[in-house]
Structure 1
Amino acid sequence: MGILRWRKVSFRESFQLALMLSQGGEFAFVILTKATGLRLFTMELADQVTLIVGLSMALTSPLVVLQRKIWHCRSETVPDQDAYWDDHEPEVIIAGFGRFGQIVGRMLQARHVPFTAMDKNSDHVEFVEKFGNRLFYGDLTRLDLMKSAGIKSARILVLAVDDVEESLHIVDLAREQNPNIHIVARAIDRFHAYELHKRKVENVIRETFASSLEAATETLEHLGYTEGQALAITSMFRKHDEEMLLKFVGHMDDMKELQQLAQQGRLELEKLFEQDSKNPVSS
């Protein structure tokens, strides 16, 4: 809490975050079991720590709710920050509020950044109004809906829908209405990523790419590579793959050229790995 106050975060936010971080986690039980097995802890001490962690997990949520109620009672006469959101268009639009869009929304909400949520399914977005944000549901490719959501004044569009054609249509609409909008887009697969790059989307997030690289890193570490070596290998692969992706964008209609680029890419990657094996990366 002291660090947050030093960083000029409000007392209310600092206290609430400190309260939420005070609880232990399930991983503590894993560590305790391992430590007890290695005889680093006595069973008596392990039982005491287990009790403390369990109580912290059980009590944190009720304490956070109680803190919010107390703070609400004390600040009834103080203008709420949410009132600002009612009179100003949110700068961020999240189009698609399923599992992908909800994570983005939760992180923005945690920093009190107002946003507009859009989704086909009203069940996905109805609750966001409780936190002072705006919502729209329906066909996201409808121009009138996009205008109502504030696409002309928004700074950032987080494109999180899981349908490729719908995603590309929304990009085209957004660019027509607001050429300067910054788009952060979810890509379902490589073809989708190509099409988004062709439309000059600034940030293309491939849905399974980062998690696959994380899995590869873990696999290499379990095979005996150091953490530094595993991270260096996956970093090399990420950079190479992203470079190849951008090369392919301009040749999507030329199958012969794509095949040549793919072959060239495989040879380049093999050469990089061969060079790396001759000059191992230390941890």
Structure 2
Amino acid sequence: MTDRVGFIGLGNMGAPMAKRLLDRPGGLTVCDMRPEVVVTYTDAGANAADTPAAVAEHAEVISIAVVDDAQVRGVVDGPDGILRTAKPGSVIAVHSTISDATAEELAGICASHDVEFVDAPVSGGAPGANRGVLAVMVGGTETAFQRVREPFGAFADLIVHAGPVGAGTRMKLARNLLHFAAFTAATEAQRLAEAAGLDIAALGKVVRHSDAVTGGAGAIMLRDTTAAIEEGDFWLPILSHARDLGEKDLSLAMELGERLGVALPFAELAIDGLGIGLGVGTGPIATKKRTGGSPA
């Protein structure tokens, strides 16, 4: 039996996600505070509901894509919330990035109503949602995960069971740590390039092109542990090579920055932590920088 799906919150992310559910068998019921937004979906055959509680009357799997923890709480357990009418065995899935503690708390409340709760934040942005290629990180029981995999497949081509409730959110926070730290590093690279008289728009084209080929930072995220790599391990020569190349290029960038008078704090952190983070220890260049001696 195909679960009927409800979708609450038709904003920048929710709108393209919900649109990809329109052609899915089982029917779609949508809800948003802005009636004019809902018309697009009802014109395409979806049902409209005025409140989250009304959505739960017509759906067994209910997705939520609102702004923050407070809105999620209201949608789930407010006076007109989903739990007022949710049928036992229903699954509530929150795609908003909220606190993992909030997710765990709401899971407990839902359990008292015999309703499953999953935190299911997404990665890939609105372009990914429009193309149906989002990544979804699901925190919840195995039973709930199996229930949501099929409907989530309408807007995602990677659906990961991160662990129990809260794990999906924790994975999203780790992913976004990389995302926004990389943005900050990119601004540092732009400052260096600009001081060197380069076209930083052209630099951006080069970065996007090469990252699409190499996988960017995710290319080194292949091990199942962050522990130090032992002798004889398959990854030791590969990541040692990555460290040595990285330390060389970072040191050259830092020398350029020094000549141009551009502070590069991210580069300083990177050269100190790259080898250790990769599990292979500092290389000769970083060791020399730390000790002021000669490379081993």
TM-score (norm 1): 0.41
Bigger helix share? 1
